[in-house]
Structures are given as structure tokens and as C-alpha cells.
Amino acid sequence: MLIKQFVIVILRFANKNMDKITAYLRRIQKASVLNLLVQLANNLGLGFAAYFFKIHDVALYKIILIWAISPLVSLPIVSLLSDWDIKRNLRLGSLGYTVMALSLLLFNQYSFLLFGIGYGLALGFFWPSFNYVFFSKSNDNHYAKDSSIYFIFGPLVGILLPPLGSLIIGTWGYKVLFLIAVVLSLLPLFYIKGKEFDHHLKQSFRVADKNFNGLRLITFFDGALHFFQSNFLAIYALLFFKTIYQVGGFLSYLSLASLVVSFLLSYVSDKFKKRVEILYPLLIAMSLLILVVPTFNSLTALIPLIGIYAVLDNLSLPIRFAVPMDLVKLDIGFWRASEFYGNMGRTIVFAAAAALLYAGNRWLAFLIFAVMTFIFPFIISCKVKMLRELSNYNSAQLASSVAKS
């Protein structure tokens, strides 16, 4: 009954605001389709990579290490390449997904390294370029809403495709699935054309880094925590799965968590600009759940816990993503610096987690993420306050200078 009433409310809202919704979607249509194409290969084939590595006896710490290697590969790309051709870099980054799929199709003892390098190319070339295109017409009235749309395509596709991937593996085997993933990873190459992607930008990383002052620590934390649900927690859960159908169902289950609720909360966040106030309870609750997860050793207990965590994480993610966008200009330098410090956080934290797992200390690995999640809203609050005070001071200085002249 409650679900029926909720659907009725959503339909009435959509009918009443159809013109606004159509105009809103048209603004981000081209970038959204590209996002969807990228997510097809991700969710149908590449999402099974960790389980595939596991059944081929790749150690857990090596699988976690992939997510330290990939952001490390991206760092020299975003920091040294100052001549930024959006169309070229989108294509190079898209080919990174092809490298990932080929590393699985042509599996060998170095595949986990090649997989990480391929994703590093995507992180370095594709995502700063894509972010620039996607948010080029955004503003602070809908940063969080845009971010929720930005993050929604992976889960939407992820609800349907992992079970299909399990069926393909069960019927024809992994090679057929990964061959399909290779083909799907090439589709974006044919779509990346037209004026929406035709941008040639130049900016040194030194200038970008200077403009990013005050946001480095926020982005460092958010980058590491963004990978926790999809890469650390999901990989940890693989220890408890016995069949490929359980894996497909689990990936679909994670994707289902809180999609509509995330957008509605983002709408509230944009309207009232209460981002930090919303983040406090969400992130503190997430930190407590992280501490609880390693105390359970049964799939029956883990599934609902991970589901609750996924809901909270998906609720907070668009708002966390919108916080830095409220504070500085969204040029290509912003997205390069954002990727640099976010990936630095992923490299350092996941390398530490892999080392702890190698040493047999999973508790301390979880504790690192729990502590980071707990203190994150306090860091956001402190940094946002500092940057806004600095902005007000600079505005006052400028007004004073104009008045004197």
C-alpha cells in the first residue's frame, strides 16, 4: 500500500513538472548516454572480475591491490598532461575499459596488474574529461541532483545486467562473457563525436592545484571512501559466495539500494543547501556499520548489513560529490585536481588495506575505513567554513579596493 502511494506521488510530481524535467534531462542527455554505454561493459562483464580472480586463486590482498594500482596509474596523467583534448582523452580512457576486458579474456598471472592499469587509464583520461562535459552546464541550484543522475546509471544498469552475466557464464562460460565485454567497451568510441565533446583546453596542473586549495583533504577522503562499497566491501563479501549466481544476485542487490531516495535527498540538499547537516548522521552511521561487518562470518548476516550500508552510502554520495562544486569554479583544472587527490586517497588507503590483508589483519583494514568515515563530516564542516570565510574576506577586500579607487 505504501509503495503504491509512493508511486502515485512520484507520477503526479512528474506530470506536474514534465516541462522542467524534459529541459533538465535534455541538458545532460549527451553525457548521460555516454555514461550508460560505459556502464554496460562495466556491469555485464567487468563486475565479475573480482570473483573470476578469486576462483583462479589470486590472493585477496592482490585483488584489493588492483584498486591501489589503478588510481596510481592515473596520477601522472592528470598532473602532467596540461594540453587537454576532451574528445581524444575520452577515447583513450574508454580504451582503458577494453584493456580491462582483454586482461580477463586472455587471463594470465599478470592479469590483475593489467586490469588495474586499464582502469588507471580510464580514471586518468576518461573521468576528468567526462566530468567536465557532464557538469559544464550545471550550477549550485542542482549540483546534488546532477550528481545523483551522474551516479544513477551504474546502479540502474547494475540491477539488470549482473544476473544476465551469471546466466551467460553458466551457459557458455567466462570467455564468452568477457568477449561481450570487449565489444561493449568499444561502443563509446563510436559515440564520442559532436560539438558536446569538442573541447580543447589548456591549463597547467600548478594553476589547477592552486585553485583547488582547501579541497585536497576532502577529496582525498571522498576518493578512498567512494571505492569502499564497490571495491573493498564487495570483494570482501566474495569470500562467502559459492556460486556465480550468488555473485550476480549480490551485485544486482547492491545496485538496487536507494536509487529513488538518493535523488529525492539530493533535491532537498540543493533546495536548502544543508549538505553538511545531512552528511553528519549518514557518515557516522556508515562508520559504525563498517566496524560491525567483520564481526559476522555468515552470508545471512552480511547481506542485510551490506545492503543497509549501500543505502546510506548511495544517499550520501551525490551530496559529498556536490560539496567541492559549491566552492570553486568547475573548469578542467578542477576535475583534474579532483581526480588527482581522490586517486591519491585511493592509492594510499587501498595499498595500506592490501598490506594489512596480506599480514592477516582484516580488522585493522576495516578500522581504517571506519575512522575515515567517522571523521569525514567534521573535516568537510571545517574546510567548508574555512573556504567560505576566505571567500567573504576576499570579497570584502575587493569591495574595499574598488571603493578606494
* Range of the structural domain that residue 133 is part of: 34-389
CATH of the domain at 365: 1.20.1250.20
Residue 185 lies in a domain: yes
- Number of folded domains in the chain? 1
Higher pLDDT, 116 or 16: 116
Residue 305 lies in a domain: yes
**DSSP-H helix ranges across 122-229:** 127-134, 143-172, 174-191, 205-211, 216-227
- Per-residue pLDDT band at 397 (split at 50, 70, 90): very low
- Per-residue pLDDT band at 322 (split at 50, 70, 90): confident
| Residue 212 DSSP code | T
**Predicted local confidence at residue 291, as pLDDT:** 94
Range 10-17 average pLDDT: 49
Residue 8 lies in a domain: no
pLDDT of 49 strictly over 90: yes
Range 308-330 average pLDDT: 84
What size, in residues, is the chain? 405
pTM of the model: 0.86
pLDDT of 268 strictly over 80: no
* Grid cell in block for residue 366: 576495516
Local structure of 109: helix, strand or coil: coil
**Predicted local confidence at residue 262, as pLDDT:** 59
Give the H or E element holding residue 84: strand 83-85
Residue 23 lies in a domain: no
Residues 6+ apart with CB under 8 A from 127: 93, 335, 339
- pLDDT tens digits for 89-134? 999 999 999 999 999 999 999 999 999 999 999 999 999 999 998 8
Range 319-328 average pLDDT: 83
Residues 6+ apart with CB under 8 A from 17: none
- pLDDT tens digits for 164-177? 999 999 999 999 99
Residue 88 lies in a domain: yes
Residue 222 lies in a domain: yes
State the Cα torsion 22-23-29-32 to the nearest 10°: -80
Higher pLDDT, 236 or 73: 73
Range 30-54 average pLDDT: 89
CA distance 321 to 239: 31
- pLDDT tens digits for 222-243? 999 999 988 898 888 877 887 8
Range 188-199 average pLDDT: 89
Q: Are 150 and 314 spatial neighbours (Cβ–Cβ below 8 Å)?
A: no
Q: Grid cell 560491525 — which residue? A: 292
Range 295-304 average pLDDT: 82
* Grid cell in block for residue 139: 550550477
Residue 182 lies in a domain: yes
pLDDT of 68 strictly over 80: yes
**Predicted local confidence at residue 1, as pLDDT:** 46
| Share above pLDDT 70 across residues of the chain, in percent, rounded to a whole number | 83
Beta partners for 83? 202
Q: Are 182 and 102 spatial neighbours (Cβ–Cβ below 8 Å)?
A: yes
Residue 84 lies in a domain: yes
- Per-residue pLDDT band at 43 (split at 50, 70, 90): confident
